[in-house]
Amino acid sequence: MAEHDNKPDGTSRRAFLRGAAAVSAGALSATAARSQTPDPLITEVQEWAQGFGDGVDETPYGLPIAHERDVIRRNVEWLTADTVSSINFTPIHALDGTITPQGCAFERHHSGAIDLKKEDYRLMINGLVDTPLVFTYGDLERFPRENHVYFCECAANTGMEWAGAQLNGAQFTHGMIHNMEYTGVPLRMLLEEAGLDTAGDLKDKWVFVEGADASSNGRSIPMEKALDDCLIAFKANGEALRKEHGYPVRLVVPGWEGNMWVKWIRRIEVMDGPVESREETSKYTDTLADGISRKWTWAMDAKSVVTSPSPQSPITHGKGPLVISGLAWSGNGAITRVDVSKDGGMSWQTARLAKPGEKMALTRFYLDTEWDGSEMLLQSRAMDDTGYVQPTKAQLREVRGLNSIYHNNCIQTWLVRANGETENVEVS
C-alpha cells in the first residue's frame, strides 16, 4: 500500500479511507476536499429534511423505491415469437448478496403464467404406489416443512454465447438464474405417504412430474433424486410464490436444470422408466458435433460471472479502489474457490467469498483491488467441492462442438475500457 500513498490525486484505498474518516470527524468529504468547494448536500438542509415523509401503510405491500426503477427483469424480444412462451432475465448486474427478490427473478413459461387459486389446487400421486392420493394445498401445509436456499438456472442460460459474444450485459448472458429460500415439503415424504412397496426395487424407478398449465410441461426424474432432496414448495423468500414462479405450488429440483422445476405441479406418477417427453428429447438435450445428442444432462456444472463491472454496470468513479463482484454456483455441490483474471486468463487472483459456499446455492465473491485506469479483460473461474474447474469456451467447444444451446458454463470475458465502459467480448 505504501506506493499508493504518494498518488497526487488521493485515489488510493488508504487515501479514500482517510477521507471517509475525516467526514466522520466533521471535516469535508473526500470529494469536497479535492474540489475545495462546499458540498451543499453536507452544508445545507435539504428538502427531504424539512418536512414529513410517507406514513405507515402508504404502500401496504412494499415496492422498490422509484430511484431503483431500472432494476427489473428484461426480455429479448427477438428470442421468441410471443411472450407467453418465452424467457426474461434477472438483473444480476444490479443486485448484491445472493438472494434474488421474487419480483425480479427470471421467468420461463411455456404457455404463460396461469391464475390458480389455493382452493382450486390439487396434487395427485399415482402410478406404482400403494395408495394413489390427491392433496389439497391445505393438506400440504400439514406436513413437516423445510427451508432451503437453492439456485434455479435455465439450461439455456448463456446458450446464445456458444458461437461468440452476442449479448451485451450480464443480465442477458447469465440472467436466467435466481437464488431463493424455498419453503416446502420434501417430495420423499409425499411419496412415502402414498407408499412405494408396489414399485418394488426403487433403483430403476422414475417419477414423471407434470404442471397444471396448458403446456402440460412434464419431466422424468430418477427415483433416487426424487427421494433425495426434491421439494414441493409453496413459499419463496418467506412469502407465497409469485404467480410467475408457480403459485401456489411448484417443484424444486436442487442443482438440476430449471425446466425440471415444474410450476403449478399437479401430478406425480411413479413409473418403471422415463416418459421421454418432448421436453427431454427434442428439447433440453445437447447435440454434439457428430449429430448425436446427449440427454439426461440434468445437473448444472460449476459456473461463475463477474456482475460488476459489466456492460450494464460500468466503472464510473475513475481509477483507484475498485470492488470486482460476481456470482458462482454449482449444481454438483458447493463453490470452494473463485479466481479472477484481469488479463484474459493469463494470470489469476483468488477472490474473497462473502461466506463459505453452500450446496446448490449461489455464492457471492469479491476481489477488492486498485484500478490504474488501463484496459482489463475481466474473467472469473469457479471451482466446486468435487474438484471441478469451470472450463474456457475453447475447452467446452472441444468436447461439445458448436451445435449445443444448453449447459454452456464457460468462462465469460468482459472488456473494461480506459473510460470504464465495458462490453462483452470473446477470449476463448
Average pLDDT of the segment spanning 168-184? 98
Query: Could you read off the pLDDT of 283-293 as tens digits, one per residue?
Result: 899 899 898 99
Amino acid of residue 93 = H
Amino acid of residue 367 = L
Query: Could you read off the pLDDT of 232-276 as tens digits, one per residue?
Result: 999 999 999 999 999 999 999 999 999 999 999 999 999 999 999
pLDDT at 201 over 90: yes
Residue 278 has what pLDDT? Answer: 87
Q: Whole-number mean pLDDT of the chain?
A: 92
The answer to whether 269 and 127 have CB atoms below 8 angstroms apart is yes
pLDDT at 128 over 60: yes
| In the chain, % of residues over pLDDT 90 | 83
The answer to whether 233 and 264 have CB atoms below 8 angstroms apart is no
Query: Could you read off the pLDDT of 54-91 as tens digits, one per residue?
Result: 999 999 999 999 999 999 999 999 888 899 999 999 99
Q: And the C-alpha cell for 62?
A: 412494499
Is cis: bond before 314, omega within 30 of 0?
no
CATH number of 74-165+178-295: 3.90.420.10
Backbone angles phi, psi at 101, to 5 degrees: -60, 140
Would strands 122-127 and 265-271 be described as parallel, antiparallel, or unpaired? parallel
**Higher confidence at residue 35 or residue 169?**
169
What distances in angstroms separate CA 132 from CA 80, 194, 196, 418, one per listed residue? 39, 6, 10, 65
The answer to whether 200 and 130 have CB atoms below 8 angstroms apart is no
pLDDT at 223 over 50: yes
* 74-165+178-295 and 303-425: identical CATH topology: no
Sorted by where each begins, the domain ranges of the chain are 74-165+178-295, 303-425
Torsion (CA) 392, 300, 94, 249 in degrees, nearest 10: 170
Query: Could you read off the pLDDT of 346-360 as tens digits, one per residue?
Result: 999 999 999 999 999
Residue 217 has what pLDDT? Answer: 86
Could you tell me the pTM of the whole model?
0.91
Residue 67, number of CB atoms within 10 A of its CB: 7
- Rg, C-alpha atoms of the chain: 25
Residue 34 has what pLDDT? Answer: 59
Average pLDDT of the segment spanning 198-226? 96
CATH number of 303-425: 2.60.40.650
Q: Identify the CA nearest to 219 among candidates 250, 177, 195.
A: 250
pLDDT at 11 over 80: no
What distances in angstroms separate CA 107 from CA 47, 84, 100, 242, one per listed residue? 39, 10, 12, 10
With cut-offs at 50, 70 and 90, classify the pLDDT of residue 16. Answer: very low
Which residues have CB under 8 Å from 398's CB, separation 6+? Answer: none
Q: Identify the CA nearest to 184 among candidates 252, 267, 105.
A: 252
Would strands 265-271 and 413-416 be described as parallel, antiparallel, or unpaired? unpaired
Would strands 86-89 and 108-109 be described as parallel, antiparallel, or unpaired? antiparallel
